[in-house]
Chain A
Amino acid sequence: MISVAKLYKTYRKENGTPVNAVNNVTLQIEQGVFAAIVGPSGSGKSSLMNILGLLDVPDSGSYLFNGKEVSTMNIDELADIRNKKIGFVFQQFHLLPNISAKDNVELPLIYSNKIDISGLAEKALIQVGLGDRINHTSAELSGGQQQRVAIARALVNDPDIILADEPTGNLDSASGSEIMNIFKQLHSKGKTIILITHDTKNTSCAQKIVKIVDGTIITDK
């Protein structure tokens, strides 16, 4: 499903010092796998996730997504893949304030080609256990509930992959466990899960664990 080879990505700090965030990364993730990319803070795991999620482009290297080379695609082609194939869950939830949970979940549907989108957002919210919070704004929800709204948003377009970047990072342990349970359920239903985390507790259910330090993969099991 995902196959990257010799990926490089270098950023420059404000003082101009180059940082090799992704350094010669070669990695395969098969469909239906629960993969965890782990590493300490600043190790480059989020940079790798941004590239894998097509939110950023590598400086060099090859990236095959479902067998197609994506590193040469234009931004609109990438946006189309993100819309149809990838669901994102971020550490900061990234919910739009002032609008309801349902409207937040519907966001990816606005840009999809689906003709009938009615009921899909509600269905996704019910799936994550928020059937009774459909019309609540994010300010009216707890952190755990907000992250569940974000998961519903990631699910609503029925993507093949869920990319989660530190999804429990801003949550207490009880809420974190609930969120991890949702990922386990999604995986059991056939979704490919790529979890970025620094917390090794969350990797217990992962079939594949990729450890990254200073932008380089040091273990891939």
Chain B
Amino acid sequence: MLKARILKSGFRAAWTHKVRAIFMMLSIMIGIASLTVVISLGKGTEEKIMTQVQKFFSSNTIMVVSGGGRVAPNRPVAITGNLKIADVEEIAEQIGNILMWDAVQHLSGKEAQANGNNTLVDISGQTPAAEGVFNLAVTEGRFYSEKENRNLARVAVITPHVREKLFGNENPVGQMIKIDNVPFQVIGTIGPRGLDPHGTDKDNEILIPLNTVMRRVANLEYVMFVKYLVRDEQRINETAEQIKSMLREKHSINATEEDDFMVITPVRVKELIANASKTFNLYLPLLAFVSLFVGGIVVINLMLISVSERTKEIGLRKAVGAQSKDITMQFLIEAASITIISGLTGIVVGILLLTQITKFMNMPFSISWGAVFMCSIISAVVGIAAGYFPAKKAAGLIPVESLR
């Protein structure tokens, strides 16, 4: 009964000084709201990346990318050409665990014209195996054949955005399309695939046979990357090692030199994502923590000022019978009630902000309930810590001195 009365008294006293309470609330609320947003955004971003990556990088995938450790000075990775198609084929033939593969050469920002319309597109030169390796869904017409790839046929398979921009509602199959003024025949269309892990719009691509791209369009000897699918996922790391040693041998890389290619396995992808997510999952929450820490200091300061301002009140409470522990409890309740309410408000504000941010950034809405739980605990701890020192100071005051 006695404690309930003190609890009520402390809670009421907290809101008697409204301006001070509002400042205390703001300082904690901002910290908690930013923590909620940042941690949840981090989780959402990671989930988004993971979903995208899983779409393009299934668990039986090994990707070999041209370039890597031994990149020539001042040359970007993509230009470092050293992955020959012959090597890629030989690896697939010799390593029994490889089920199928596709090699890709990518050219961005090419002009495509058809039907009196033109647009900028990306060209993806891929082998006919792309249909299976990348799980492409042909919606109209057909995908190109091995014969067409071998004969450097000028055939193209287009994606939804290209189709929409160049052909509108017309059926594109059988129509001609000019890519950098070279005519190609549209033989098929594929369904939507969205963005790839790099953020490239896969629905703004034109797929043409790899050999056609390498010999007729770009005159290149090397591919950008190869995607191998393995039969036995359990042996994926072993297979990756085999690919690595074969390529090192073919590229005459000695033991002291680094690879001039990069072999990426699902495990490595997860590592890369974890590394990339560090900013979101470690540094930004750290910043939010600093903001919360500053908020805590503001609350301690305001509570200390409150104790100084209310010395007479403390003296009076003691005069009418408040014991030291009652005064301690009163100030603790004041600080804790403000910080806990601010914390909960911060969580609500954070969630509201998150809905807007994710909407604006076109990200999946995802709340880290762990973060919300952590924020609730933090706000309670900050409240108790912020109230403790002022409460001790208040409790130690001698009634007669406080009343003077």
Chain A residues near B (Cβ < 8 Å)? 50, 53, 55-56, 75-76, 79-80, 82-84, 88, 90, 94, 96, 98-99, 103, 107-113, 115, 117, 153, 157
New A-B pairs, 17, CB < 8 Å, besides A56-B398, A56-B399, A109-B5: A53-B319, A75-B323, A79-B324, A80-B323, A82-B321, A94-B315, A94-B316, A96-B313, A108-B320, A108-B321, A110-B6, A110-B326, A111-B2, A111-B5, A111-B322, A112-B2, A113-B1
Interface residues of B in 378-404 (CB under 8 A from A): 398-400, 403
- By a CB distance below 8 angstroms, the chain B residues around A108 are 320-321
Which residues of chain B from 302 to 324 have any CB-CB distance to chain A below 8 Å in the complex? 312-313, 315-324
Contact B320 A107 (CB under 8 A): yes
Q: Report whether B403 and A79 are in contact in the complex, using a CB–CB cutoff of 8 Å.
A: no
Minimal Cβ-Cβ distance residue in B for A99: B16
| A88 and B323 in contact, given A110-B5, A113-B2 (Cβ under 8 angstroms) | no
By the criterion CB–CB under 8 Å, are B318 and A79 in contact? yes
Q: Would A55 and B9 count as touching, CB distance under 8 A?
A: no
Size of the B side of the interface (Cβ < 8 Å), in residues, is 26
Docked complex Cα distance between A79 and B322 (Å): 6
Q: Which of B325, B326, B403 contacts A55 (CB 8 A)?
A: B403
- With A99-B16, A107-B316, A113-B2 known as contacts, the answer to whether A80 contacts B321 (CB < 8 A) is yes
Which residue of chain B lies nearest to A117 when distances are taken between CB atoms in the complex? B5
Do A56 and B318 have beta carbons less than 8 Å apart? no
Residues from chain A with a CB closer than 8 A to the CB of B399 are 55-56
Cβ-closest chain B residue relative to A109: B5
**Contact of B321 with A79 in the complex, beta carbons under 8 Å:** yes
A27 to B1, CA, bound (A): 39
Q: Which residues of B contact A (CB under 8 A)?
A: 1-2, 5-6, 9, 12, 16-17, 312-313, 315-326, 398-400, 403
What's the Cα separation between A113 and B4 when bound, in Å?
A: 12
Complex Cα–Cα for A90 and B313 (A)? 13
Q: CB-nearest residue of chain B relative to A75? A: B324
Supply 29 A–B pairs (Cβ within 8 Å), ascending by A: A53-B319, A55-B318, A55-B403, A75-B324, A79-B321, A79-B322, A79-B323, A80-B323, A82-B320, A88-B319, A94-B312, A94-B316, A94-B403, A96-B313, A98-B17, A103-B12, A107-B316, A108-B320, A110-B5, A110-B9, A110-B326, A111-B5, A111-B6, A111-B326, A112-B2, A113-B2, A115-B1, A153-B320, A157-B321
In the bound complex, residues from chain A placing their C-beta under 8 Å from that of B9 are: 110
Closest to A79 in B: B323
Q: Which of A88, A96, A111, A157 gathers most chain B CB within 10 Å? A: A111
The 8 Å CB contact of B321, one of A56, A103, A111, A117, is A111
Bound Cα distance from A99 to B8, whole angstroms: 14
Minimal Cβ-Cβ distance residue in B for A85: B321
**How far apart sit A111 and B326, CA to CA, in the bound complex (Å)?**
8
Instruction: Give me the 10 closest cross-chain CB pairs, A-B, nearest first.
Output: A83-B321, A108-B320, A111-B321, A56-B400, A55-B400, A76-B323, A110-B5, A55-B399, A50-B400, A79-B323
What A residues does B12 contact at CB under 8 A? 99, 103
Tell me the complex Cα distance, A55–B315, Å.
Answer: 9
B-chain residues with CB within 8 Å of residue A50 when the two chains form the complex: 400
Determine the distance from Cα of A57 to Cα of B267 in the docked complex, in whole angstroms.
74
Tell me, in angstroms, the Cα distance from A76 to B323 when the chains sit together.
Answer: 5
Closest to A81 in B: B321
A79 to B313, alpha carbons, bound, how many Å? Answer: 15
Residues of A within 8 A of B317 (CB): 107, 111
Nearest residue (CB) in B for A163 is B319
Question: Which of chain A's residues has its CB closest to B15's CB?
Answer: A98
Q: For A83, what are the chain B residues with a Cβ–Cβ distance below 8 Å?
A: 320-321
Chain A min CB distance to B171 (Å): 78
Give B37 Cβ to nearest chain A Cβ, in Å: 36
Alpha-carbon gap, A79 to B323, bound state (A) = 6
Query: Which residue of chain A is the closest to B330 with respect to CB atoms?
Result: A110
Contacts of A111 in B (CB 8 A): 2, 5-6, 317, 320-323, 326
Q: How many angstroms between the C-alpha atoms of A53 and B400 in the bound complex?
A: 10
